[in-house]
Amino acid sequence: MPPPGNTLFDEYLAAEAPPDATGRPFSDDDYRRHVDGRARIDGVEAFLSSRGIRIRRGAPTDPPDAATAWGLANRKNRYFLDILASEGVVAFPSSLQAVRRVRDGGLATGVVTASRNRAQVLDAVGITGLFDVHVDGIDAAELGLAGKPDPAPFLEAARRLGVDPSRAVIVEDAISGVEAGRRGGFGLVIGVDRGGDGDQLRRHGADVVVNDLSVIDVTPGERIAGHD
């Protein structure tokens, strides 16, 4: 099954977009630039804006077939939940190992995501207990937090962990996420390049870019080169 973003935006561009809108298909590059890491509504509006499309925002309660940005966002979420139910979730083994090394080293962990499906996804993989705190799309809405690249969700996670941002490490594979980490004054921002975006991750704030978290070692109590 195609990713929910591809299905949603290709359907929209083919059937509903204004005639003068750029009609090329939604691409992986579109996803990384406009959708990845952002709140559902922000990603929809950012992508539409990139194609010169403006539609009414509507409300979070809009049904998936509504001709509004929230309608599209809710349709995308319906597609995502269908995929989650039919195909489940496959985690990166090296990422899970990295989190476990961090916890084995006595360090606290948190998960920050714009998704409102955080609980379902973590439960599907069976890793909810790997994180001490979470800040997800539901938390952000309740607290009125701006989404990435605004650092507010990361700063809230640091607050819940009881750690100063300058003493915390952000690990992100989204351009919007590394930008949020840099803007939030976090001590180290690690970008994970899963799609050939290493240069973009660096430009937007990553101190270090790796292809896989298996290369990260955790040694509590030692200084990280270049950081307090």
Query: CB–CB of 216/210 below 8 Å?
Result: yes
pTM across the whole model:
0.78
Which pLDDT does position 20 carry in this prediction?
A: 54
pLDDT of residue 119: 94
CA 100/CA 88 separation, integer angstroms: 22
pLDDT at 33: 84
Quickly name the fold that domain 4-87 has. Answer: DNA polymerase; domain 1 (1.10.150)
Nearest of 227, 177, 226 to residue 205 by alpha carbon: 177
Centre a 10 Å sphere on the Cβ of residue 182 and count the other Cβ atoms it contains: 17
pLDDT above 80 (res 142): yes
Where do we find the tokens 């922000």? 42
Confidence of residue 227 (pLDDT cuts 50, 70, 90): very low
- pLDDT of amino acid 21: 61
Domain at 93-215: CATH code: 3.40.50.1000
Residue 63: CB partners within 8 Å, gap ≥ 6? 71, 74
Whether 147 contacts 140, CB under 8 Å? yes
- State yes or no: pLDDT of 223 exceeds 70: no
Q: Which residues on adjacent β-strands are paired with residue 172?
A: 191
The yes-or-no verdict on residue 5 having pLDDT over 60 is: yes
**Residue-by-residue DSSP string for 102-143:** HHHTT---EEE-S-TTHHHHHHHHT-GGG-SEEE-HHHHHHH
Q: In the chain, what are the domain boundaries?
A: 4-87, 93-215
